[in-house]
Amino acid sequence: MTDKTSLAAGTFAGARARIQDNASRGLWSSRWVFFLAATGSAVGLGNIWKFPYVTGQNGGGAFVLVYLACILLIGIPLLMAEVMIGRRGRANPDGAVARLAREAGASSRWRVVGWLGGLTGFLILSFYLVVAGWALAYVPATFSGGFTGVSGETSGALFGALLADPLRLVVCATLVLAATMLIVGFGVRGGLERSLRFLMPGLFVLMLVLVVYAAIEGEFAQALQFLFVPDFSALTAQSVLVALGHAFFTLSLGCGAMMVYGSYLPEGTSIAKTSILVALADTAVALLAGLAIFPLVFGNALEPGAGPGLIFVTLPIAFGQMPLGQVVGGLFFVMLVIAALTSAISLSEPSIAWLTERFRISRTKAVLGSGLVLWLLSLGSVFSFNHWADYQLFGKTFFDTLDYLTTNWLMPLGGLGTVLFTGWVLQRHVVSEAIGIRNAGLFQAWWKLLRYGTPVAIVLVFLNLLGLI
């Protein structure tokens, strides 16, 4: 059989397999639902917890401007590539990449890109559950007035007491895990779609309520200036690289989530348009989080660059001193839990899809098995803050090691593998047909950016995270 004949046979087989999968796998009911799902995946703790404090640490408006440019140059091209691979492959990340590699006549070893993404998402979820548990623990504590009139020292001590209580941390993380597994257990339509139709609009409503409250009770004008008036003197080369990294991670890229969500996307939906909308919504939430948080920070003379403790130590001080603070603070942490839950759902789905498709087991068995392993891994992260705090590897706890491994190695490698596979292995006409950019000039610009600009940017992020630049 000639190479051309082999390639044609492979393409035909791939098309036939996709038709069969479309009949057996669940699909989103509409582009709108996919938009909610993908936005829910992208919008998480990174937007509400991390974005405000990294903005505060890196000079405010100038950092925001660079971050927006990075979303455009890195985030959107990579997001489109991941969704495209998922939809064309109609399988979990491992299976989707393997199928497209066969169609392109490329080595089957490229499937490691998809496998790596699924593994990364699974490992992230194991410690993400613990951080989400912190937010859950703060909901009743804030509503009950536990932070009324607290000082900075007291607020820090309360957070320290939470971390020192393994039973409380395990209970909270388990509740988040149970909610996640219950939702994904009902499948695409019955679980993912039904929950996201409620959770995402609820998240946006809560966010807007908090922004309005912050505008009334806080220093809104100062927050606007801080976020949107660039001071380039405060911008460093390190700040640019931090913006690059955060733009990459905030869209849930390199962890299999967008690939598997793309695999449920109906044919005829423009991947390009939908991906741009998702990126815009994700960015809007990050900016709204800043507008909800910084007016309160400035209004209470607190430090905008307070680091990771901004949410769990600094903000409770503000909530404890303001009118209706316990109600608004409680709603804030409810919003944080919802954001964490929507991301947890997407991070769990690649492993569930892989188990059901690879081993042909029921979704219920896949959910229970995956959930058990996740729960056991989460215990390691819980104990990192108390019982195992003194047991470290290269100066890092179990929690820190997982965070370092996924953030510094697996996510950049997965993202780089995705753009190289899409831009250099798949045939241009296949990508053009799948991606949905009708204008030839726009597609050419996107294609050049994907093949050259995005890989270089990801390598820079990778080198920065490794401490090499």
Domains of the chain, residue spans: 3-465
CA distance 116 to 146: 42
Structure tokens at 156: 């820090």
Nearest to 292 by CA among 328, 322, 334, 323: 328
Tell me 218's DSSP state. Answer: S
- For the ranges 47-51, 293-297, 316-320, the lowest mean pLDDT is seen at 47-51
450 and 435 in contact (C-beta within 8 Å)?
Answer: no
Nearest to 65 by CA among 231, 294, 303: 231
What is the mean pLDDT of the segment spanning 149-155? Answer: 89
Q: pTM for the whole thing? A: 0.88
CA distance 56 to 408: 22
254 and 248 in contact (C-beta within 8 Å)?
Answer: yes
Question: Torsion over CA of 46, 49, 52 and 56, rounded to 10 degrees?
Answer: -110
With a cut of 60, say whether residue 344 has pLDDT above it. yes
Per-residue model confidence as pLDDT tens digits over 379-411: 999 999 999 999 988 889 999 999 888 877 888
With a cut of 60, say whether residue 346 has pLDDT above it. yes
What is the mean pLDDT of the segment spanning 315-322? Answer: 89
CA distance 121 to 348: 7
Could you tell me the pLDDT band of residue 1, with boundaries at 50, 70 and 90? very low
Could you tell me the pLDDT band of residue 11, with boundaries at 50, 70 and 90? very low
What is the mean pLDDT of the segment spanning 451-466? Answer: 83
With a cut of 80, say whether residue 464 has pLDDT above it. no
- For the ranges 157-161, 336-340, 376-380, 411-415, the lowest mean pLDDT is seen at 411-415
Q: Which residue has the tokens 């509503």?
A: 143
303: left (phi over 0), alpha (psi -120 to 50) or beta: beta
Q: How many CB atoms are closer than 10 A to CB 444?
A: 13
Higher pLDDT, 10 or 204: 204
With a cut of 90, say whether residue 303 has pLDDT above it. no
Q: Which residue has the tokens 């140059």?
A: 73
Nearest to 332 by CA among 316, 321, 343: 316
3-465: CATH topology: Amino acid/polyamine transporter I (1.20.1740)
310 and 293 in contact (C-beta within 8 Å)?
Answer: yes
| Predicted pLDDT at 25 | 61
Higher pLDDT, 469 or 19: 469
Please report, rounded to a whole number, the percentage of residues in the chain having pLDDT higher than 90. Answer: 59
Residue type (1 letter), 187: G
